[in-house]
């Protein structure tokens, strides 16, 4: 049984983080991929065996209507807004995947997360786009994780994950449904980002630990403290 516990992003200095955890989920790649020299510096400065998972660029999953595009440094070309997001089979989306994959290679990443907005509904068109995207891209042996939000039900999620060989990412305090060859939990805070997990919460979370390889990635205001407390509870250190 292999358990990885960490945070979504670096909430403290990298030196302090590296001394506490052995995995981080990179967030900057979602907003806009950093320069390759920066990425290589991250990899070179990390301890041996440290793991980087990362979020795929928002140009793949989110349309330009998303408020997250405010952090995009390169403006979307006028008149081409419809070519971005929702896994559309366009040159722009496939180029966004190429850029994401390039960074994954430098970081020696094995897990890439595709987080979708709640507006990405389980329509026939969206399912068709996903099928085309995931059957076309080069995977390079990567484990691809999908976090749907919104109106998707368990049956639909399981069908998509099974057909497209995806891992279902979910907050275990919202639902326990999870599909794929590993388990990838993303903890966003019970009721909101500012939530701090109690000892009782973490004891409950420990019950999610299964025989499969599992990632527990905290993504709340107190992510560093909560992840460290959970690691101590599960691993005894």
pLDDT digits (tens, 9 = 90+) for 207-222: 888 767 899 999 999 9
Give the whole-angstrom CA distance, residue 33 versus residue 100.
7
pLDDT of 212 reads 77
pLDDT of 203 reads 95
Per-residue model confidence as pLDDT tens digits over 16-58 = 999 999 999 999 999 999 999 999 999 999 999 999 999 999 9
Domain carrying residue 220:
3-235
DSSP codes joined into one string, 161-193: HHHHT-EEEE-TTT-----SSSEEEEE--TTST
Three-state DSSP state, 71:
helix
Write b or e for each residue in 77-112: b if 16 or more Cβ atoms lie within 10 A of its Cβ, otherwise e: eeeeeebbbbbbebebbeebbebbbebbebbebebb
Domains in the chain, number: 1
Tell me the β-bridge partners of 28: none
Give the whole-angstrom CA distance, residue 227 versus residue 237.
12
pLDDT of 1 reads 58
Per-residue model confidence as pLDDT tens digits over 134-152 = 999 999 999 999 999 989 9
pTM above 0.85, yes or no: yes
């Amino acid at each position: 049984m292999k358990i990885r516990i960490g945070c979504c992003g670096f909430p403290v200095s990298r030196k302090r983080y590296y001394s506490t955890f052995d995995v981080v989920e990179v967030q900057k790649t979602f907003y806009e991929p950093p320069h390759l020299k920066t990425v290589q510096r991250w990899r070179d400065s990390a301890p041996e065996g440290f793991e980087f998972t990362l979020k795929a660029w928002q140009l793949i999953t989110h349309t330009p209507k998303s408020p997250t595009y405010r952090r995009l440094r390169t403006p979307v070309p006028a008149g081409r807004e419809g070519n971005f997001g929702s896994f559309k089979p366009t040159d722009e989306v496939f180029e966004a995947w190429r850029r994401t994959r390039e960074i994954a290679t430098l970081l020696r990443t094995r897990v890439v997360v595709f987080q979708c907005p709640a507006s990405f509904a389980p329509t026939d068109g969206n399912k068709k786009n996903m099928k085309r995207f995931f059957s076309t891209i080069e995977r390079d042996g990567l484990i691809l994780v999908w976090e749907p939000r919104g109106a998707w039900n368990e049956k639909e999620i399981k069908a998509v994950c099974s057909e497209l060989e995806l891992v279902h990412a979910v907050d275990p305090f919202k639902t326990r449904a999870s599909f794929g060859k590993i388990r990838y939990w993303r903890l966003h805070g019970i009721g909101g980002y500012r939530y701090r997990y109690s000892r009782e919460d973490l004891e409950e979370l420990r019950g999610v630990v299964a025989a499969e390889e599992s990632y527990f990635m905290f993504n709340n205001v107190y992510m560093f403290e909560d992840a460290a407390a959970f690691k101590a509870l599960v691993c005894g250190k």
